[in-house]
Structure 1
């Protein structure tokens, strides 16, 4: 639980007045906010993110989504109808939170890296196509933008003030169950994981499962202090250990992505390691901070500057280096092509070195495009009349077989192989019937399509977007 500085100051002042030997009351810590109050006050800032990746089979390998929803119609249809396709749509679900009222959304990069389409669903049920502003795989932070205003941004806290044992909670969409709340404590800070770069994670015992990636981690005051990113698991599900990107780092990355669309990192040509108390004692330093050089790239900036394995970088351009994660951000702020001054502890004494950093080469993702409604006739649907055999198999009379689904229709879960039997209350027997229904609608109007999949019917609502290429009115 978060400490109250004012309360602690008062207790310390009162302690000076207590006579020696007198019994002093232990410090009072605030109880955490209830889960109900947390959801009521902060839940509107949490979003669900659906992604689509079109996979072209080329062998036995296929994408493994974090959580592939078995039912894209919200438990109204049971299973996809089998159909032979040369292209397969892989759907995934994640979580995120509203950073600004004008539509900037923060989530995890790993669920958006290969996505060709992203859709953000708000707590009130509204959903918007999302544009990828940028993402950073090293810190696993992504920034999206939706065309919406008046949203409810979360309250950003200060992750540096968290202490081990503090109460924390998460709101997300594990396994597609949106608005799920889990709670626990901070188990450790500054956890560096193998294969996760220089990110110093928060470790918690908050239950995080597939679908929760990108969800906010709240403190006792309902402030976001972390971006839930990883779980340690041997089964694919939660096993008591989860990791979050500290919000101070996540917001800084989001700010950089908003400004430039990517993260510029400076390259030193050295592998770094975080310091510990045991390492500090081994190297003869009292302060267990800084970044320890464990490998030097031949011909790189570090090697050209005379840096050596075993050097401990304690300051960068006069600013103290807390760990190698903060050093990476300091180098990024400094940029490449200009000399930087390093303070170093080497073989029992302090020294300095000047290094000219180079810019690291980064692989940029392909942004998920926002479909242009005007280029997708019939709401992105390509259809044909269903045959008698299919009608008999599904137990229906009439209907249109979906050959392809794109844009709005695909985002709402309509798939090739579905059969649309009605639009609102009107039965559909031909594509002309569908065109006549669309021609009577204005942009912003709603249309409910009765869809049959694997003998299970469900209405799927679609809102006609502005600029939609509609058939001419009769």
Structure 2
């Protein structure tokens, strides 16, 4: 690791007249506190970056001074200073940032700098030895080691960073530092830790270098990241959901929303479909589908192998550059109690549907019994049963009547403005629905 320290730099950034950074992260799963409250550090092929109150790190990519770090470190800075391992200091300019992947790119005017060796993060596996070099709390060129705990770790159930989780000690001053494998290759950029106290607790997360370098290429060439979009939202498949959708195994990306006027809609993708393969690549986890889409350019034609109503289908989609605008349906207020699942439901007023950006759905006024035991609460919304969309209370009763008693169904529920399928087992004997008085 000592030979790698020369490629790690310390950096200080200055934001004048404002409390910077925290509110600028656009990651959908960003924690309540910014990444900078949780980590920052450098490596032999990394650079240390420091904000007004926080230190951070980076790694040298080119001999003329291109430096990779975290977006939350350098977004909206007024000034950035980089210190090399040999003590030299340089002013740096921000080449570009991509907050959705927490990748930032800096440039200093230098020549003949040592350059980090870039590895292949796809080869990492749980148990692999890894090391970080950074400047935790300002202690330059500090080395910490550990193992890979998990790969493709998505935080908060969303977002598009398949984090590499490690038990490497990360502390303030280490954001943007490189994570090395046993061959001294950079395999990730340390981005955040999970902590209830703000200190290291054995849960560190890093952006895979394969993803980071794809972002770097776009930031260097066009200054922004151009992404392809299907225009759909997906959820992880679970054993209970696989059973409710009659899948042969627990694999695939479950569609929970299809945007109007989107490539997904044009391809014929429906809510409740399970995408099993993308351009011939089998999808085991929904995160793999997100990564496959992000690797394609807008305008590319792609093949989707989906599971619908217990049968295989093939769809073709032309990826678009941006998510489409959603449209919404009208509905009227009506109430009914579903005795079988312990749900008291009413139709969602049009104004509320517009605010929540949903097309239809039923408002949960009360939840008891099987529904409550699965986490459904009053104030939530039930949007669909399996792949059948619900607009009226009658739709709920009519759909349940077609499903055999005792079978597990998947309720598409909106909670905290997020959609997720919830498996619920129907009672062994059917109960009649009664209107609320």
Give the TM-score category using the shorter length. 0.5 to 0.7
Cα gap change, 1:195/1:250 in structure 2, threshold over 3 Å: closer, same or farther?
A: same
Cα gap change, 1:148/1:324 in structure 2, threshold over 3 Å: closer, same or farther?
A: farther
Larger radius of gyration: 1
Deviation at 1:296, TM superposition (A): 2.0
Does residue 1:66 correspond to 2:32, yes or no? Answer: no
d(CA) in 2 for partners of 1:309, 1:361: 16
Deviation at 1:187, TM superposition (A): 1.2
Partner of 1:49: 11
Partner of 2:315: 353
Cα gap change, 1:268/1:172 in structure 2, threshold over 3 Å: closer, same or farther?
A: same
Unaligned runs of 5+ in 1: 1-37, 69-88, 363-474
d(CA) in 2 for partners of 1:121, 1:148: 12
Secondary structure of the residue that 1:266 maps to in structure 2? coil
Does residue 1:175 correspond to 2:137, yes or no? Answer: yes
Does residue 1:148 correspond to 2:134, yes or no? Answer: no
Within the candidate set 204, 216, 221, 2:166 is matched to: 204
1:77-226 map, 5 Å = 90-194=52-156, 197-226=159-188
Within the candidate set 203, 225, 228, 1:263 is matched to: 225
Within the candidate set 224, 240, 243, 2:205 is matched to: 243
Unaligned runs of 5+ in 2: 25-32, 39-50, 325-437
Partner of 1:427: none
d(CA) in 2 for partners of 1:132, 1:257: 10
Deviation at 1:196, TM superposition (A): 5.8
Cα gap change, 1:123/1:99 in structure 2, threshold over 3 Å: closer, same or farther?
A: same
Deviation at 1:163, TM superposition (A): 1.8
Deviations along 1:64-96, one digit per CA (max 9) or x if unpaired, are: 89379xxxxxxxxxxxxxxxxxxxx94542111
d(CA) in 2 for partners of 1:167, 1:42: 16
Deviation at 1:333, TM superposition (A): 4.5
Secondary structure of the residue that 1:210 maps to in structure 2? coil
TM-score normalised by L of structure 1: 0.58
Secondary structure of the residue that 1:250 maps to in structure 2? helix
Within the candidate set 328, 342, 345, 2:304 is matched to: 342
Cα gap change, 1:210/1:300 in structure 2, threshold over 3 Å: closer, same or farther?
A: same
8 Å CA contact 2:231–2:323 kept in 1: the answer is: no
Secondary structure of the residue that 2:36 maps to in structure 1? coil
d(CA) in 2 for partners of 1:257, 1:300: 26
CA RMSD of the aligned region, Å?
Answer: 3.0
Give the count of matched residue pairs: 301
Deviation at 1:55, TM superposition (A): 2.4
d(CA) in 2 for partners of 1:277, 1:253: 34
d(CA) in 1 for partners of 2:126, 2:18: 46
Deviations along 1:158-216, one digit per CA (max 9) or x if unpaired, are: 22222211111111111222211111111111111017612111111111112111111
Within the candidate set 261, 264, 272, 1:310 is matched to: 272
Deviation at 1:254, TM superposition (A): 1.4
TM-score normalised by L of structure 2: 0.62
8 Å CA contact 1:174–1:211 kept in 2: the answer is: yes
8 Å CA contact 2:230–2:323 kept in 1: the answer is: no
Partner of 1:414: none
